[in-house]
Amino acid sequence: MARYDFTTRRLFVEGPLAAAARIDLPPSQAHYLRNVLRLSDGAELLVFNGRDGEWRAALEASGRKQTGLIVHTQTRAQERPGDLHYLFAPLKHARLDYMVQKAVEMGASRLQPVLTRHTQAERLNAGRMQSNVIEAAEQCGILAVPEVAAPLKLEAALAAWPAERLLIFCDEEAPVRDPLLALTAAAQTHAPLAVLVGPEGGFDAGERAALLALPQVMQISLGPRILRADTAAVAVLALVQAALGDWRG
């Protein structure tokens, strides 16, 4: 049997999930299912809430203006969430949407926007970010929905940094060496992980010094080319998952 069912539509819901539970859907989800997907009563969905695993449910009308779901059987138990924090300097609109979606797909458990000296887009739409997180989780079979944290100045994030968490940050000023080899060498630390991708203007000297002063930190290069921040996000998260994360099984 396949590990995931990618043929049935998945839907994130807020309410608790259990056999025979009934979930009343908000108008936005009801509109999407009824008017966009044109699903009728009895249509099957997979539902999850980030806490109770994944369940099979059926669409049902519960009144003239209310659409709900009747939960039937569990298809997957809730998995223990990963512990990979992703810190990033905000980007503008479509590129931020892409970066958030890819960070979720790559296994980030917490998304932390940080404001740096060279950050180009300081205003964030938290609702839009949350929508992108949920959409990525729905589409990719993810059960644990990552936390979206409120923006922090980089200085404040570093001042409160937990000493036990290893911070891996991408820096164009780092010596160009094999990043996978460097990360693999850190596998023996067994520390919880965080990844930081800065702004496209790079870190300034003070920020770099503050980063390098952390008790557990690794400064890595992503090769001889300068990458856009959204590209760098995918590249570094792939490297970290391959060397230190859950890609190792």
Domain membership of residue 4 (yes or no) is: no
95 shares its domain with 217: yes
Q: Same domain, yes or no, for 94 and 117? A: yes
Residues 95, 121 share a domain: yes
Q: Judge if 35 and 139 occupy the same domain.
A: no
Q: What's residue 167's pLDDT? A: 97
Residue 64 pLDDT class (50, 70, 90 cuts): low
Q: Which residue blocks in the chain are alpha helix, DSSP H?
A: 27-31, 93-105, 126-139, 154-159, 179-185, 205-212, 229-243
The average pLDDT across 28-47 equals 92
At 189-208, the pLDDT tens digits run 788 999 999 988 889 999 99
Do 103 and 217 belong to one domain?
Answer: yes
Lowest mean pLDDT among 95-109, 172-186, 206-220: 172-186
**Are 103 and 200 within one domain?**
yes
Q: What mean pLDDT do residues 88-102 have? A: 92
- Which phi and psi angles does 227 have, rounded to 5°? -100, 150
Q: Is the pLDDT of residue 1 over 60?
A: no
For residue 194, give the amino acid letter. A
Query: What CATH number is attached to the domain comprising 61?
Result: 2.40.240.20
**pLDDT > 70 fraction of the chain, expressed in percent and rounded:** 97
Residues 242 and 159 in one domain: yes
**177 lies in the same domain as 66:** no
Residue 36 located in a structural domain: yes
Distances (CA, A) of 123 to 92, 98, 116, 204: 9, 17, 13, 21
Residue at which a domain ends, from 76, 93, 123: 76
Looking at 76, 95, 110, the residue that finishes a domain is 76
In a domain, 96, yes or no: yes
Give dist(CA 73, CA 107) in Å, integer.
26
**Domain contains 21:** yes
Same domain as 133, residue 14: no
- Rounded to an integer, the average pLDDT of 223-232 is 90
**Choice between 158 and 201, residue whose per-residue pLDDT is larger:** 158
**Token reading at 100:** 């958030």
What pLDDT, on the 0 to 100 scale, is given for residue 188?
78
Mean pLDDT of the chain: 91
**Is 2 a domain residue?**
no
User: Does one domain contain both 60 and 114?
Assistant: no
For residue 92, what are the domain limits?
84-248
Residue 236 belongs to domain with CATH number: 3.40.1280.10
**Domain check: are 46 and 19 in the same one?**
yes
What is the number of structural domains in the chain?
A: 2
When comparing pLDDT for 177 and 138, which is higher?
138
**Six-digit token pair at 149?**
């944290």
Both tokens assigned to 82: 């990963």
**Domain-embedded: residue 17:** yes
Confidence of residue 61 (pLDDT cuts 50, 70, 90): confident
Residues 57 and 121 in one domain: no
Confidence at 176, pLDDT banded by 50, 70, 90:
confident
pLDDT at 120 (0 to 100): 78
1 within some domain: no
Of the candidates 43, 76, 109, which is a domain's last residue? Answer: 76
What per-residue confidence (pLDDT) applies to 172? 86
pLDDT band at 45 (very low <50, low <70, confident <90, very high): very high
pLDDT number for residue 123: 80
- What was the pLDDT predicted at 16? 95
In three-state secondary structure terms, 22 is strand
Is the per-residue pLDDT at 6 higher than 90? Answer: no
Give the distance from CA 105 to its chain's centroid. Answer: 6
Position 181 pLDDT exceeds 60: yes
* pLDDT at 62 (0 to 100): 64
Structure tokens given for 207: 């920020």
